[in-house]
Structure 1
Amino acid sequence: MAKVHGRHTFISLGGDDLSTFTNTSEITRTADSHDVTGYGADAHEFVGGLKGGTATMGGIYDNTASTGPRAVIEPLIGQTVELIRQTEGTGAGKPQDKATVLVTQYVETNPVADMVTWSCEMQISGTVDTTPQAA
């Protein structure tokens, strides 16, 4: 099995490519857990429920007026848009995660002795399409 470097990752939000502004991204998938333990049991029993998840991304701030992270993400707060993440870059057969997400947060961090950074948090709405990229 070959190792994959993160520098090839492609990520877009609402149709805008944010790859060049992003240096970290994550998709977390979750499932509800329901306790179905009955009387007399010696241990808990659980069944799964609805699936869900979150997504995050962040990077070094760029003040490009029309395509930078602030210009793209801030107007999307509170809206549902498409998120596409290709962890091995673009190409036929390579993995891809595509989901509708609710943009819940955009943060800019300004340390005194370092670069300004940004981050974005999203709530996955519906299922994540993990179909590999088409040719």
Structure 2
Amino acid sequence: MAKMVLLAEYVALNGTDLSNYVKKAELTTKVEEKEVTTYGSQGWKEVLGGLKSGELALEFIQDLAASALDSIMWPLLGTVVTFQVRADNSPVGTSNPSYSGSVLINGWNPIQGSVGDEATVGVSFPTSGAVSRATA
């Protein structure tokens, strides 16, 4: 099994490469657990998969300058936009799959932190529709 260190993740929202602002990116997907236990299950719980969902959590280094991060993200508030993430910014391939779909920009925290902290923005956006994995 190959080991890897994340050094150059690729993160794009609404077709804009935001990798230079991203400090941390996590894409999670899950499936609802639906219990279908019957007396015929003989005391064992049985489950089936229900609806799928996902979340894209990002931590940005904030930049309030004109044409920088805040001016890119603010107009997206309340909209559903495309996303693409991959472990490395090199081309998509079997060792560097791309995960893509759409997310709802359901919040934006332009200013957060305490005295002496770096200016970061932590957000979590729910996916809207299918999340795809591509290797080509």
TM-score, normalised by the number of residues in structure 1: 0.88
Q: CA deviation at 1:59?
A: 2.2
Aligned equivalent of 2:115: 112
What residue ranges of structure 2 are gaps of 5+ in the alignment?
none
Aligned equivalent of 1:13: 13
Q: 1:56 to 1:92 in 2, by over 3 A?
A: closer
Q: Counterpart of 1:125 in 2: which secondary structure?
A: coil
- Are 1:43 and 2:70 counterparts? no
Q: 1:67 to 1:15 in 2, by over 3 A?
A: farther
Q: CA deviation at 1:92?
A: 4.3
Q: CA deviation at 1:39?
A: 3.4
Q: CA deviation at 1:71?
A: 1.3
Q: 1:127 aligns with which of 105, 125, 130?
A: 130
Once superposed, which parts of structure 1, at least 4 consecutive aligned residues long, lie more than 6 Å away?
Answer: none
Q: Distance in 2 between matches of 1:13 and 1:25?
A: 12
Aligned equivalent of 2:56: 55
Q: CA RMSD in A?
A: 1.6
Q: Number of aligned residue pairs: give it.
A: 132
Tell me the alpha carbon deviations over residues 101-128 of structure 1, each in whole angstroms, 9 at most, x when there is no partner: 1111222322112211112221111111
More strand by share: 1
Q: Distance in 2 between matches of 1:61 and 1:5?
A: 24
